[in-house]
Amino acid sequence: MTATAAPAPVDHRPSGRPLVLAVLALAVGGFAIGTTEFVTMGLLPQIAEGIGVSEPQAGHVISAYALGVVVGVPILSFFAARLPRRGLLVGLMGAYAVFNLLSAVATGYGMLVVARFLDGLPHGAYFGVASLVAASLAAPERRGRAIASVMLGLSVANVVGVPAATWVGQNLGWRAAYLITAALAALTMALVLAFVPSVPGDKETTGRREARDFFRRRQVWLTMAAGAVGFGGMFAVYSYIATTVTDVGGLGRGAVPFFLLAFGLGMVAGTWLGGELAAWSVFRSLIWSGIGSAVVMVVFWAVAPLGWWLLPVVFTITALGSVLVTNLQVRLMDVAGDAVTLGAAMNHAALNIANAMGAWLGGLVIAAGLGYRAPALVGAGLSVLGVAILLWSAADQRAEHRRVQRAT
């Protein structure tokens, strides 16, 4: 009598065209979010004029969105761990569409700040859940590339969506830009329903247990701190790019979309490169991108008065920043233990603390009379501090490894 071999496990992950369409649907959501988040920077002078405040004060609108992301991630992730993930993605995009519409009809500064705060709430949860879904659909060795593909939607938004929406906002009024992003969110809902397979939540976990497991880990806090500080430099520069280009660089208003396009192309290049570097070394790519960012920020300060010469510098700043974003996402998922839903989402909370901090610190030095070049030096300092936190994280990880070895 011969033993019968156990059947090989069946791989239910989609492949080929279904996988591509599923990841594309998730990336369109990133495109919608990226367009609405970053178009505010390009239209900041128009928004300030439209609601009757100064440009540094209008920068608080950017910070309000970022703080919405920070608040929304832990709250939504707490309740989301057990929910079916496709339905959750559709719900998050539905909320995004509604709050973009609220931004478009805001009647004053206070209402717009509240609308942008509410619009930020679904941001991090969407990217976190979309990253988990993409990683679960792809083969293990392609996990980093699948996550990078979702993030690529945000990057492509800065090549196509942000310049186009900025042009529309300059010519048809800033409110029209938010109407466009509401429509993109609605399109994402349809694509997710059509192409993303049903992915169940984790029935074995609870939000309370995920939060307890996640926030007790020192590596989690250090990784989030590195993102919150190190990535703030890019936003210190990006938040005030429109006036930097016109008032410091001496170029016309029509040049602003080209600089936003350079930011977008840098994001695409950096996100793709980050996915490739994840296979080499996630941690080393974080260190080198942080060091490079500090150097290029100083170059930005020096080149800003030279007009079009600033264009390649802008590209490089965002390319390096996007390597940081992609691989911080991978690292945070790796150090999160069993709290994968929260780990996948909290990267975006950390990065939007960077958004709020960068916009606030940039506005602070401008309001102090140091000029629109000064945020670049703030950015260089933040990049250096981010690298220091990463090195601290590495030292702590090695010390923990030695403690475990001695204990065993």
Please give the Cα distance from 36 to 123 (Å, whole number).
Answer: 10
Per-residue pLDDT tens digits for 236-248: 888 788 888 888 8
Residue among 126, 123, 147, 124 nearest 137 (CA): 147
User: Residue 368 contacts by C-beta under 8 Å, 6 or more apart in sequence?
Assistant: none
Please give the Cα distance from 58 to 48 (Å, whole number).
Answer: 5
| 8 Å CB contact between 265 and 315 | yes
Please give the Cα distance from 357 to 352 (Å, whole number).
Answer: 8
Please give the Cα distance from 166 to 243 (Å, whole number).
Answer: 14
- 220-234 burial string, b = 16+ CB within 10 Å, else e? bbbbbbbbbbbbbbb
Per-residue pLDDT tens digits for 21-76: 888 889 899 899 888 887 887 788 888 888 888 777 887 888 788 788 878 877 77
Please give the Cα distance from 374 to 367 (Å, whole number).
Answer: 11
pTM: 0.69
Please give the Cα distance from 375 to 362 (Å, whole number).
Answer: 5
More confident residue, 254 or 207: 254
Residue type for 387, please?
Answer: V
Residue among 64, 46, 63 nearest 55 (CA): 46
Half-sphere exposure of 315 (CA within 13 A, CB side): 12
Is residue 296 predicted with pLDDT exceeding 60? Answer: yes
Average pLDDT over residues 359-371: 84
Per-residue pLDDT tens digits for 303-325: 988 888 988 998 998 888 888 87
User: Residue 350 contacts by C-beta under 8 Å, 6 or more apart in sequence?
Assistant: 223, 224, 225, 227, 228, 231, 328, 332
Please give the Cα distance from 224 to 330 (Å, whole number).
Answer: 12
Asked if CATH classification 1.10.3720.10 holds for the domain at 16-402, the reply, yes or no, is no
User: Looking at the chain, how many residues does it have?
Assistant: 408
| 8 Å CB contact between 263 and 256 | no
| 8 Å CB contact between 350 and 67 | no
Is residue 3 predicted with pLDDT exceeding 60? Answer: no
Q: What is the largest CA-CA distance in the chain?
A: 89
